[in-house]
Amino acid sequence: MTADTFDITFTLNGLRKSIAVRTDAMLAEVLRENLGLLGTKVSCNEGECGACTVLIDGRTANSCIVLALEVDGCAVTTIEGVAVGGVLHPIQESFIEEGAVHCGYCTPGMILSTKALLDHNPDPTTGEVRKALEGNLCRCTGYNRILKAVSRAAEKLRPTPGAGE
């Protein structure tokens, strides 16, 4: 650790990571530049668009305005951690199936916001879905298909009655 760097240890997509980060580095920059995780997109760089959304301890955050050293000791999930073992997450499948992916630039952030929502609220109302995604801008799809994809994902993720018996 030098005056300009800081050693942090955190869980990244389930794996422990220790890394020295510049003290003024934002999480998005560290993910993209230092750790090579380019799935986290950066657009506005000012907290307005949600393209850079990641989960910190299960909650969404705009990684472009979170100091990397703030995630010391936290669990961070990026888009690279959503599909496990090469198998798409039901949210990812639903986005594809509903035509909710156009240019794809907003998609990683949208999927993480959806994940945080459904992890906490498996059966959201349309109003709750809209509210949960208000910080994720998409200029391509007009959102309609994204909202449908979230409903579809919620359905897929809900345990089917009787299953597991």
Partner 1 sequence: MAQFRVAAPRTLDEAFSLLPIQDRDVKLVAGGTDVLIHIRAGKSAPKRLVLLSKISELDDDIRVTDTGIRIGALARLSDVVRHPVVLARFTALAEAAAQIGSEQIRNRGTVCGNVANASPAGDTLPPLYVFDAVVNLIGPNGRRAVPIAAFVQAPGRTDLAAGELIESIVCPFPPDGAGSGYIKLARRAGIDISTVGAAAMVCDADTVRLALGAVGPTPIRPLAAEPLLGAGLRDDEAFDRGITAAAEATTPISDIRASRDYRLAMVQVMAREAIRLSQQRSTSKDRVQA
Partner 2 sequence: MNIVGKNVLRADAAQKVTGTHEFAIDGKVPGMLWARIVRAPLGHARIVTADTAAARAVPGVVSVLTAADLPTPMPLYGSVIADQPLLAVGKCRYYGEPVAVVLADSDEAASLGVARTRIDYEELPAVVTVADALAADAPLVHDATTAPGSNVHKQYEYAWGDVEAAEPACHTIVENTYTFPMIHHFALEPFSVIAWPEAGGVQIKSPVQHPFLLRRVVAECLKLELSKVRVMATSIGGGFGSKGYAKYEPLAAYLAMRTGRPVKISTSLDDAFVTARRLSATVHMKTGFDRDGRILLQKVDADYLMGAYADAAPRITQKASYVSCGPYRIPNLKTVARAIYSNTTPSTAARGFGMPPLNFALETQMQMAAKSLGIDPVEIRLRNLVKRGEQLVPGDIPADGEWSEGLRRCADMIGWNDPLPPGTGRGISIGIKNPIPGSVSNALVKLHADNSLTVAVGTSEMGQGACTVLAQIASEELGIPMDRITMIMGDTAAVPFDVATAGSRSTVTMGNAVQSACKDVVRQLEEMAKELGLIAPGEKLQINGGMMSDRQNSLSFNDIFTRYFSKTQGEVVGRGLYKGEVVAGHPLGGLSDFWEVIFIAVKAKVDPATGKVSILKMINVSDIGKAINPLHCKSQEEGGAMMGLGHALMEQMIYDQKGRLRNGSPLDYRIPTTMDVPWEMDSSLVENQDGAGPFGAKGIGESGAITAGAAIAAAVSDATGVFFKDLPITSERVWAALSAEKV
Amino acid at site 160? T
Residues 34-53 close enough to bind ligand FAD by CB under 6 A: 47-48
Q: Decide if 43 contacts 29 (C-beta within 8 A).
A: no
Using CB under 8 A as the binding rule, whether residue 88 contacts partner 2 is answered as yes
Tell me the CA end-to-end span of the chain in Å, nearest whole number.
53
Residue 112 and residue 114: Cα distance in Å, rounded?
A: 5
Helix (H) or strand (E) holding 130: helix 126-132
Which residue(s) pair with 54 in the sheet? Answer: 61
Counting contacts by CB under 6 A, is residue 38 touching ligand FES? no
Q: Output the 3-class SS for 9-29.
A: EEEECCEEEEEEEECCCEHHH
Mark residues 48-87: x for contact with ligand FES by CB under 6 A, - for none: xxxxx---------x-x-----------------------
CA pair distance 7, 130, nearest whole angstrom: 38
Residue 77 binding partner per list ligand FES, partner 2, partner 1, none, with a CB distance cut-off of 5 to 8 Å that depends on partner kind? none
Of 34-42, 83-91, 94-102, 131-139: span binding partner 1 (CB under 8 A) = 131-139
> Which parts of this chain interact with ligand FES (CB under 6 A)?
42-45, 47-52, 62, 64, 102-107, 138-141
Binding site for partner 1 (CB under 8 A): 3-4, 6, 22-24, 26, 45-48, 50, 53, 56, 59-62, 65-67, 69-70, 113, 116-117, 130-132, 134-136
